[in-house]
Amino acid sequence: MPETCRVIAVLGTRPDAIKLALVIQDLRRRTGEFEMAVVHTGQHRTMLDEVLEHFKIKPDFNLDVMRPNQTLSMLTCRVVDTVGNACDQFKPNIVLVQGDTTTAFGAALAAYYCKIPVAHIEAGLRSDDIYNPFPEEANRRFVSVVAQIHFAPTAHSRDALMAEGIPTAKIVVTGNTVVDGLRRLSQLHHSWENTPLVSIPADSSRLVLVTSHRRESWGSDQANMCLALKDLVERHLDIRVIYPVHMNPNVRSTIDAMLGGIDRIHLTEPLDYLTFVSLLGRCFMVLTDSGGIQEEAPTFHKPVLVLRKVTERPEASQFGMAKIIGMSRERIFREASRLLSDPEEYRQMSEGENPYGDGRASERIVETLTRWHLGITPLLDPDEQFKPSPRRPALRRKTDVWEEPRAEMPEIVYSKPEVH
């Protein structure tokens, strides 16, 4: 019988913590099979800590990698160096990394330099444009090169990995772990008292949740979005826009200047995750450039308008629950107005089960790690891997004619962005 499997789980941002929390809890419960250490790089210090506190996870290594105005290369170097030191101390059998952050990339590279196998949770997401999203698309591709186990959330992600030559035997389709966490948290009652949302009037207004912070949207694209939000509240008098503004000053400078003080547009501080989940459950619709929210909103049957040119999470769009609309002022206004004005359009985009998971992803990951350590193949039986509930893609109505939906792309001229 092999010795217990020593596992390091590396997290640095709030989404990392949300998506790794139940995996960490399950591994720590199986004390006879696993010994584990949690490495916290501190890429999102405050927002990450509140998630860890909620799930009662205490990091074993607290790393301080953030510096004011540091470049991506500086951050990557610090992650590689500090995670490498943690690996030298703990001597794991395998290192778990999550997603597409600089923490995930740097930790995977550190493990590779130490010749320690890497397991990649949320593997295989692809936009096929290395600058959209930037730097996440390149980060996840880099991790795939060194990973020994690829936990693909969906069959689409599995197929993308296979197209890049990853052996099927190294891929397990798990569903996304965020659905596991959401199912647990959504059962909790949460008040908006003592939160940034306490000032939102408790009237009959429909709430439009907006988030936008991606690097590729800074500047003119975000300005276009702000103008579209102004147009929406002027046209639709029964809505309130709630926009938790990212802490990055490059985001805040534009948002505060263009949207500050406008009636029925509520700019708030970033929300703790329980408050955000509560808002997601209460809102009418979502406009976002966040990949994670694209996965979360379908659990609450909320239509999503994706403020990006491309997405690495196409399943919601394929199931008719999201639409990629880009950052054109006219397109944002038109598509949001359609959902606000057309009950049938809204119904079509809000029906169905979440195509990203069924709440058992963490369980599948832990079982796979057990089998991997024991040398059992396959890593997980095909019948045990995630398969979404079948759902015929929603029909779209144009005037009085019903037709099958086609991929809709914003009217955007593509050009290679500048790299700073």
Which are the catalytic amino acids? 100, 122, 136, 213, 215, 246
Q: Rg of the Cα trace of the chain?
A: 21
Q: Which residues pair with 7 in a beta bridge?
A: 36, 94
Q: Which residues pair with 120 in a beta bridge?
A: 97, 150
C-beta of residue 80 within 8 angstroms of C-beta of residue 118: no
Query: Half-sphere exposure (CA, 13 Å, Cβ side) for 149?
Result: 30
C-beta of residue 380 within 8 angstroms of C-beta of residue 364: yes
- Specify the residue for token string 């296979």: 162
Report the distance separating Cα 280 and Cα 261, nearest Å: 23
Query: Half-sphere exposure (CA, 13 Å, Cβ side) for 370?
Result: 15
Beta strand spans in 224-369 (E): 239-244, 265-268, 285-288, 304-306, 322-324
Collapse the DSSP code of 99 into the 3-class scheme (helix H, G, I; strand E, B; otherwise coil) and give the result: coil
The full DSSP string for 352-363 is S--TT--S-HHH
DSSP-H helix ranges across 114-248 = 136-146, 155-163, 177-185, 220-235
Collapse the DSSP code of 375 into the 3-class scheme (helix H, G, I; strand E, B; otherwise coil) and give the result: coil
CA angle 386, 374, 124 (to 5 degrees): 35
Report the distance separating Cα 63 and Cα 82, nearest Å: 7
In sequence order, the 6+-apart residues with CB closer than 8 A to the CB of 266 are: 199, 200, 240, 241, 242, 243
Residue among 206, 224, 252, 254 at smallest CA distance from 334: 224
Helical packing angle, 14-29 and 361-374, nearest 10°? 60
- Specify the residue for token string 């003119």: 220
Longest distance between any two alpha carbons in the chain, whole Å: 68
